[in-house]
């Protein structure tokens, strides 16, 4: 029944507010670390519940959806406050025309465009402006979050007027489970007999106790959890909660044409505090876009490989990712037709293995 659902949703939101308040009001020190860790775990579980409910709701014919079909070799999302020039940038980089305007919220839904670069097709999504205080868990924010989830790279866009909102937007993304430029912490979970929960690793007894309790809150009973490296409570939650999103991100400052050298330096100084390197561009004046495309390519870890088959004389260009073997990248599924694989460098052939990891730009000859 919709009313019951609504009530339970309101109940979850109310509980979230209560726990947030308790965390805010509890001073953080050794004695309270345990308790705060548990509160954070509860908060994360409630947020996950809320998100699951929203997902169900939008699955039942929810009208507004930002789900756009993923296409191409990789997808990036342009995200930032209103009027910073996201749509102007999309139009410059792709074959799409997203409406631009000198008023906030010109863009009302996610608009895809395709950037062609180094033989790769990189999909860019233009999104509505994001306000630092709007929620990301429900309503329109949730739909933006869905697009974040479907992207390989987040391109945060700001300008002189808005760059001070960066910490709020980062916090908002963090609260929504989005982890930028970080690896997912590694844990191993094994089933075991009975309902006991065991957490093992290089941990103090106190920490192990907290992690066991959190694991129980997460419903991990009858499990043995191995923690290979020391980690914080938040990292432990990140490793176990399914709604966490680990994503590469870059930060773009648009409207460089309006900045004085001093303002540029101030922005740079401010942004660096958040472990991000600002890329200055002017979408309108077409400045800095060549560099931006290069950074996007590098951050996506895309590589371009050429394969030449001696049998057919055909040349095939493949777009892949760093960390993939030649075997995985090869456009030829039937390897048995080839006797040897060569790496061609400066006109010289060098025999190589199918397990070789290309770094990009290589030419392989198959005989």
Binding positions for ligand GTP, rule: CB under 6 A: 82-88, 100-102, 104-107, 128-129, 254-255, 257-258, 282-285
Closest to Mg ion by CB, 87 or 151: 87
Give 156's strand partners: 79, 251
Binds 88, which of Mg ion, ligand GTP, none (CB < 5 to 8 A, cut-off by type)? ligand GTP
Closest to ligand GTP by CB, 32 or 285: 285
| Least gap, CB of 252 to ligand GTP (angstroms) | 10
Among 9, 96, 106, 325, binds Mg ion (CB under 5 A): 106
DSSP 211-249: HHHHHHHTT--SEEEEESS---HHHHHHHH-TT-EEEEE
Q: Which stretch binds Mg ion (CB under 5 A): 104-112, 161-169, 202-210, 216-224?
A: 104-112
Gap between the Cα atoms of 161 and 255, Å rounded: 10
Given the DSSP bridges, would you call strands 74-79 and 315-321 parallel, antiparallel or unpaired?
unpaired
Binds 258, which of Mg ion, ligand GTP, none (CB < 5 to 8 A, cut-off by type)? ligand GTP
Closest to ligand GTP by CB, 102 or 334: 102
| Least gap, CB of 295 to ligand GTP (angstroms) | 17
306 binds Mg ion (CB under 5 A): no
Query: 61 to each of 64, 227, 264, 317, how far by Cα in Å?
Result: 9, 42, 46, 41
SS3 (DSSP) at 278 = strand
Closest to ligand GTP by CB, 105 or 335: 105
Binds 83, which of Mg ion, ligand GTP, none (CB < 5 to 8 A, cut-off by type)? ligand GTP
Length in residues, the chain: 367
Binds 85, which of Mg ion, ligand GTP, none (CB < 5 to 8 A, cut-off by type)? ligand GTP
| Least gap, CB of 289 to Mg ion (angstroms) | 17
| Least gap, CB of 48 to ligand GTP (angstroms) | 29
Closest to ligand GTP by CB, 41 or 156: 156
CA 234, 237, 241, 247 torsion-angle sign: positive
Q: Which stretch binds Mg ion (CB under 5 A): 106-114, 141-149, 220-228, 313-321?
A: 106-114
Q: What's the angle, vertex CA 163, arms to CA 157 and CA 164, rounded to 5?
A: 145
Q: Which residues inside 40-99 make contact with Mg ion, applying CB under 5 A?
A: 86-87
Gap between the Cα atoms of 109 and 111, Å rounded: 6
Closest to ligand GTP by CB, 129 or 278: 129
Closest to Mg ion by CB, 83 or 330: 83
Give 154's strand partners: 77, 249
CA 25, 29, 35, 39 torsion-angle sign: positive
Closest to ligand GTP by CB, 89 or 329: 89
Distance of CA 20 to the CA centre of its chain: 25
| Least gap, CB of 313 to Mg ion (angstroms) | 47
- Collect all residues with Cβ–Cβ distance below 8 Å to 303 and sequence separation of at least 6: 319, 320, 321, 322, 358, 359, 360, 361
Q: Give how many residues touch Mg ion by CB under 5 A.
A: 4
Closest to Mg ion by CB, 154 or 302: 154
What is the widest separation between alpha-carbon atoms in the chain? 73
Q: Which residues inside 107-166 make contact with Mg ion, applying CB under 5 A?
A: 107
Give 316's strand partners: 307
| Least gap, CB of 166 to ligand GTP (angstroms) | 15
Binds 257, which of ligand GTP, Mg ion, none (CB < 5 to 8 A, cut-off by type)? ligand GTP
Give 327's strand partners: none
Q: Which of 294, 358, 365, 284 is nearest to 332 (CA)?
A: 365
List interacting residues with Mg ion (CB under 5 A).
86-87, 106-107
């Amino acid at each position: 029944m919709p009313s019951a659902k609504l009530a339970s949703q309101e109940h979850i939101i109310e509980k979230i507010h209560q726990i947030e308040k308790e965390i805010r009001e509890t001073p953080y020190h050794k004695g309270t670390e345990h308790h705060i860790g548990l509160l954070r775990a509860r908060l994360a579980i409630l947020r996950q519940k809320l998100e699951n409910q929203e997902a169900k709701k939008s699955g039942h014919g929810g009208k507004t959806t930002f789900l756009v079909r993923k296409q191409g070799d990789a997808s990036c999302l342009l995200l930032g406050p209103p009027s910073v020039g996201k749509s102007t940038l999309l139009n410059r980089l792709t074959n799409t025309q997203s409406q631009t305007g000198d008023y906030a919220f010109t863009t009302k839904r996610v608009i895809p465009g395709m950037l062609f670069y180094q033989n790769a097709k990189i999909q860019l999504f233009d999104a509505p402006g994001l306000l630092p205080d709007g929620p990301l868990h429900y309503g329109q924010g949730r739909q933006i979050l869905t697009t974040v989830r479907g992207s390989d790279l987040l391109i945060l866009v700001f300008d002189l007027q808005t760059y001070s909102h960066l910490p709020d937007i980062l916090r908002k993304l963090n609260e929504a489970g989005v982890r930028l430029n970080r690896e997912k912490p590694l844990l191993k979970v094994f089933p075991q007999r009975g309902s006991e929960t065991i957490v093992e690793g290089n941990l103090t007894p106190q920490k192990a106790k907290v992690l066991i309790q959190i694991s129980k809150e997460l419903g991990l009973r009858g499990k043995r959890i191995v923690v290979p490296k020391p980690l914080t409570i938040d990292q432990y939650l990140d490793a176990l909660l399914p709604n966490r999103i680990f994503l590469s991100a870059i930060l773009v400052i648009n409207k460089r044409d309006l900045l004085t050298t001093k303002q540029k330096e101030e922005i740079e100084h401010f942004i660096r505090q958040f472990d991000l390197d600002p890329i200055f561009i002017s979408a309108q004046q077409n400045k800095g876009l060549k560099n931006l495309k290069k950074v996007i390519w590098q951050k996506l870890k895309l590589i371009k490989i050429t394969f030449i088959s001696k049998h057919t004389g055909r040349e095939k260009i493949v777009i892949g990712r760093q960390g993939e073997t030649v075997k995985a990248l090869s456009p030829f599924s039937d390897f048995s037709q080839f006797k040897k694989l060569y790496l061609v460098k400066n006109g010289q052939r060098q025999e190589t293995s199918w397990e070789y990891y290309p770094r990009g730009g290589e030419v392989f000859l198959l005989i």
